[in-house]
Structure 1
Amino acid sequence: MAAHTFGGAMRKIARPIMRLFPLFFVFSSSSFAHGGQHDTSAFASYFETSQMITAFGLIVLLFGYIAGTRHLWKHAGRGHGIAVRSVSFFALGWLSLVVALIGPFHELSEALFSAHMTQHEILMLIAAPLIVSGRPQIAAVWAIAPSYRQRVGSIVKDRSFENCWHFVSSGLVAFLIHAAALWIWHIPVLFDATLKSDIVHALQHASFFGTALLFWWAIINGAVGWKSSFVGVLYLFITSLHSGVLGAFITFTRQLLYPVYFESTAAWGLTPLEDQQLGGLIMWVPGGLVYIGAGLFMFARLLRQSERHAFEYDRRTLNEAVTSDL
């Protein structure tokens, strides 16, 4: 009965979400027709191979998560293993991916550097932490057949795999990998190459999103205990600083770093340098605020845990003193 109720509820959620796909296509087409860069053929351009692969991947991701969560809750009960709020986080993260990869930002990012930066910020600062908070690894395990599930479990429990994963997902390594991806891909020659090759563009998005998933995994799932929580706060603030430095440099430099946008910004009322400055500002201010906000949230939670532990320690000490007097 519970599984039937869950299945009905998830179908109610999935149907309107699937109906959003054509709306993104139509909105993108009309917005570009208004911008003067594309005519109604922009609608058809969404159905090129790369976009079809992206849309298919997003649909597989959504229904794989739904299937895994449904099977888990059928065996363990609703809310066990994956909390209801975690499902909400995943849904919001998935919608963020749709907005960034299927929505108007996909085409707009090929005309404006600032839109491209917005797309990347959505992937790294909104979609990634929300997806990680949705506990997709648990849903993925429960989405596969029981026989394969056992094989996956044996691989995951293997000592060499565990050691490798613990190393890669440690706070310092995850931080360094994500920082390296951010800085390397903003080297002008590499960034410009993303607009000249769909494969390079896909690699850029995969590295941004993949390293962001790893970074937020280390922050969210690694925050166990006082020491690791404090280190997580530290990594968030350091990430805010180094990404802010990159954003500020892009904002204030008088040199045109990304000439690939030279001919496409005028239709949107911007000079290439203004578009570049706006993109740097988007990385610097809103991006930095997300990291700082997450760091402050973790620090506040850390203080609450510290106060609770101090209260419990004082109560134990008082009880021991009273007992010893008796």
Structure 2
Amino acid sequence: MTSASQLGLALMFHEAHPDMWSVPWSFEPAIVIPLLALLGVYTAGASRRGNVASLRWRHASFAAGWGTLALALVSPIHELGEQLFSAHMLQHEILILICAPLISASHPGATCLWAFAPRHRSGIGSWVHRIESSPAARLFTAPLNAWILEAAALWLWHIPLLYQATLTSDWIHAAQHISFLGTAVLFWSALYGVGRSAMSYGTATLFVFGTAVHCSALGALLTFSTVLWYPAYATTTAQWGLTPIQDQQLGGAIMWVPSGVVFMVIALALMARWLSESDRRLRLGSVAALLEKEQL
């Protein structure tokens, strides 16, 4: 059977397998408590800031980002990730491609700060500002470094030895998810959040295009490989009607296609803005030259 046929059957299975809907939701305290705490702090801060029209889209962005974060960590996708590599890849794509950009766009820090009493708000704000202004923070949030960290996290965690460890240790698994989400937030913030004003559209286009290339490359390696990268899934996929290789190839396709499409669309949009801005500057320069010539 060809790889294309295997992927086609796998996709049909994922639409039709009845046992998918019997997988329970995961309400682990270590996940649920931080999720609820984050939502509570942000909601309290938003309430104290009042109905500021200019912040409504940020509140909507945070709500959507928090919702997708909860979906990835609490829904049956989380439990399925222990048995199916493809489900685990779907979870990671939700964190990196949906949750991280939405949370980054909401700039939640200032709103969360408003959750605290006025007498504490100033001190906490100063402490956060010192951290953000520190050499280490500036190093990690620089656009190129944020891009390197995001790429390194993705590739390193897919090394078989490290990936297998996430399936046997909750702590290592948590570290994987935190690093994926954290580095993705840094990367997206560098694009259109913190530090965006210091990055040209041309530079942003190169970073996004580079991300599309390396994500697609890893996904393609998994999709077309005939060797099982992660033996831990060798005994867990049969109950879902998949061979381990079919599951791995489907997971690779999930990583390859959505991320490639999303990043290429963003790269093209940034390139269009880049060309438009260059054209505008060229026209302004021509007008300025004409005015200077007339004055002479």
Q: In 1, distance between residues paired with 2:109 and 2:217?
A: 33
Asked if structure 2 preserves the Cα contact closer than 8 Å seen for 1:86 and 1:133, the reply is: yes
Give the letter aligned to residue 95 of structure 1. G
Deviation of 1:61 (Å): 1.7
Alignment of 1:199-278 (within 5 A): 199-221=171-193, 222-224=195-197, 228-278=200-250
Alignment of 1:24-103 (within 5 A): 34-35=18-19, 43=24, 46-47=26-27, 51-72=28-49, 74=50, 78-80=52-54, 83-103=55-75
Deviation of 1:291 (Å): 1.4
Percent identity reads: 42
Q: Which moved more, 1:282-291 or 1:158-167?
A: 158-167
Q: In structure 1, which of residues 105, 120, 128 is the aligned counterpart of residue 100 of structure 2?
A: 128
Secondary structure of the equivalent of 1:55? helix
- How many residue pairs end up in the alignment? 280
The residue aligned with 1:297 is 269
The residue aligned with 1:154 is 126
Q: Which moved more, 1:60-69 or 1:261-270?
A: 60-69
* Deviation string, structure 1 residues 237-263 (Cα, Å, up to 9, x no partner): 111111211111111111111111111
Q: In 1, distance between residues paired with 2:36 and 2:129?
A: 29
The residue aligned with 1:142 is 114
Q: In 2, distance between residues paired with 1:173 and 1:203?
A: 20
The residue aligned with 2:79 is 107
Q: In 1, distance between residues paired with 2:161 and 2:144?
A: 28
Q: In 2, distance between residues paired with 1:307 and 1:143?
A: 45
Q: In 1, distance between residues paired with 2:122 and 2:179?
A: 29
Secondary structure of the equivalent of 1:262? helix
Q: In 2, distance between residues paired with 1:317 and 1:85?
A: 41
Q: In structure 2, which of residues 134, 155, 174 is the aligned counterpart of residue 183 of structure 1?
A: 155
Deviation of 1:272 (Å): 0.3
Q: In 2, distance between residues paired with 1:69 and 1:316?
A: 46
Deviation of 1:216 (Å): 0.9
Q: In 2, distance between residues paired with 1:278 and 1:99?
A: 21
Deviation of 1:136 (Å): 0.9
Asked if structure 1 preserves the Cα contact closer than 8 Å seen for 2:189 and 2:196, the reply is: no
Q: In 1, distance between residues paired with 2:40 and 2:291?
A: 53
Asked if structure 1 preserves the Cα contact closer than 8 Å seen for 2:97 and 2:259, the reply is: yes
| Structure 2, unpaired ranges of 5+ | 1-14
Deviation of 1:321 (Å): 5.0
Deviation of 1:160 (Å): 8.5
Call closer, same or farther: CA 1:234–1:64 in 2, change over 3 Å.
same
Q: In 1, distance between residues paired with 2:87 and 2:129?
A: 42
Asked if structure 1 preserves the Cα contact closer than 8 Å seen for 2:26 and 2:78, the reply is: no
TM-score of the pair, normalised by structure 1: 0.78
* Deviation string, structure 1 residues 94-129 (Cα, Å, up to 9, x no partner): 111121111120111111100000100110111001
* Deviation string, structure 1 residues 25-71 (Cα, Å, up to 9, x no partner): xxxxxx9x9428x97xx64x734xxx223122222222322222232
Asked if structure 1 preserves the Cα contact closer than 8 Å seen for 2:26 and 2:75, the reply is: no
Give the letter aligned to residue 35 of structure 1. D
Asked if structure 2 preserves the Cα contact closer than 8 Å seen for 1:155 and 1:161, the reply is: no
Q: Cα RMSD over matched residues?
A: 2.5
Call closer, same or farther: CA 1:321–1:143 in 2, change over 3 Å.
farther
* Deviation string, structure 1 residues 50-93 (Cα, Å, up to 9, x no partner): x2231222222223222222323x3xx6134xx32222222211
Secondary structure of the equivalent of 1:143? coil
Q: In 2, distance between residues paired with 1:312 and 1:196?
A: 61
Asked if structure 1 preserves the Cα contact closer than 8 Å seen for 2:224 and 2:249, the reply is: yes
Deviation of 1:169 (Å): 0.3
Give the letter aligned to residue 272 of structure 1. P
